[in-house]
């Protein structure tokens, strides 16, 4: 990043509302928020929000994309990384271990910007799947990741407002495919944001409601993406119809998790991993719109 670009970025942040918007989007990670939900969180009118968002897009701080009728915004991760690198260039004379020992709030950021860190592959990756109620999709994804990951992944699931019990059709479809269901439960995502929680490497939201909510700050600075897919628990009709909806969800998640496991096992540095997972997640969302038929077409 050049100095004039840094001045533009910092100038865009030098405003109460824009700083609040940016910090909110940083919290939500790459999945971001729809403009309407962002306005509610930062308590700002639609016209003013639109003005501030345009300024921040122009400065390279955030990005936008359309999802159906909504425009979604998220932090431009590469832009943030470049700004931090510019601000901390040659920090502590190139000795990041001194930065990490400083007693100030951004201790980890300075050390991170002083060196490019790789994704460590000698320890299992911790993966967290999120849905609002943590009763169906996220639980199925948790079981699939723990099974298909073959010890290279520790998978968890949670929700912002957990239902308190796992959907019986989710349990049935998992048992039909030979998964162990003992110990599965619907739980709050607060269990993974507090002291003593495992450091999470990847966070995937599976429902649009969870993606739109203001997420906790996860330990470990994880890669966060959205894998939005239909909720099988909304299926109507006979029990056979409902079970078929869960079978479709299982098939989609099985396909995605299999592909993701292969991707995550590649020897990639942190920057490349984030880019690859982002590209893969865009593919996941496209396939989820088409459904199981797209998998069948591939044979």
Tens of pLDDT, residues 91-110: 665 555 555 544 444 444 44
Q: Tell me which residue of 62, 52, 68, 104 sits closest to 83, measured CA to CA.
A: 62
Q: Residue 97: how many CB atoms within 10 A of its CB?
A: 10
Question: Cα(234)–Cα(12) distance, rounded to whole angstroms?
Answer: 43
Neighbouring residues of 215: CB distance < 8 A, sequence distance ≥ 6: 27, 28, 29, 130, 189, 203, 224
pLDDT at residue 212, rounded to an integer: 59
28 is catalytic: no
pLDDT at residue 105, rounded to an integer: 42
Confirm if 67 and 36 have CB atoms less than 8 A apart: no
Compute the radius of gyration of the chain from its Cα atoms. Answer: 20
131 is catalytic: yes
**Catalytic one of 28, 114, 143, 215:** 215
pTM for the full predicted model? 0.61
Residues of the chain with pLDDT under 70: 90-122, 209-217, 219-220, 292-299
pLDDT at residue 120, rounded to an integer: 45
Domains and CATH numbers, the chain: 3-75 (1.10.10.10), 79-113 (no CATH), 125-297 (3.40.50.2300)
**Catalytic one of 28, 99, 131, 143:** 131
- The burial of 177, by beta-carbon neighbours within 10 Å (0-12 exposed, 13-18 middle, 19 or more buried), is given as middle
pLDDT at residue 148, rounded to an integer: 93
114 is catalytic: no
Question: Cα(185)–Cα(127) distance, rounded to whole angstroms?
Answer: 17
Q: What is the pLDDT of residues 229-277, one digit of tens each?
A: 989 999 999 999 999 999 999 999 999 999 999 998 888 887 888 889 9
């Amino acid at each position: 990043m050049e100095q004039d670009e840094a001045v533009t970025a910092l100038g865009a942040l030098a405003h109460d509302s824009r700083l609040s918007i940016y910090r909110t989007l940083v919290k939500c990670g790459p999945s971001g928020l729809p403009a309407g939900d962002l306005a509610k969180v930062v308590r700002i009118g639609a016209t003013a929000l639109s003005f501030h968002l345009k300024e921040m897009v122009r400065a390279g701080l955030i990005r936008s994309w359309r999802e159906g009728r909504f425009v979604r915004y998220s932090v431009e991760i590469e832009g943030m990384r470049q700004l931090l690198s510019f601000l901390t260039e040659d920090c502590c004379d190139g000795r990041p271990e001194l930065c990490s020992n400083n007693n100030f709030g951004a201790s980890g950021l300075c050390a991170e910007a002083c060196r490019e860190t790789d994704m460590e592959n000698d320890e299992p990756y911790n993966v967290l799947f999120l849905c609002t109620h943590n009763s169906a999709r996220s639980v199925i994804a948790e079981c699939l990741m723990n099974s298909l990951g073959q010890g290279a992944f520790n998978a968890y699931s949670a929700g912002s407002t957990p239902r308190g019990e796992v959907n019986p059709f989710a349990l049935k479809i998992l048992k039909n495919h030979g998964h162990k269901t003992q110990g599965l439960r619907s739980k709050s995502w607060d269990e993974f944001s507090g002291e003593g929680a495992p450091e999470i490497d990847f966070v995937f939201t599976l429902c649009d409601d969870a993606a739109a909510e203001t997420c906790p700050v996860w330990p470990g600075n994880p890669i966060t993406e959205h894998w939005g897919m239909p909720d099988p628990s909304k299926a109507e009709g006979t029990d056979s119809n409902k079970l078929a909806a869960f079978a479709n969800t299982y098939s989609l998640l099985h396909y995605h998790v299999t592909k993701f496991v292969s991707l995550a096992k590649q020897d990639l540095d942190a920057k490349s991993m984030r880019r690859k997972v982002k590209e893969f997640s865009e593919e996941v969302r496209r396939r989820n719109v088409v459904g199981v038929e797209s998998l069948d077409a591939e044979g």
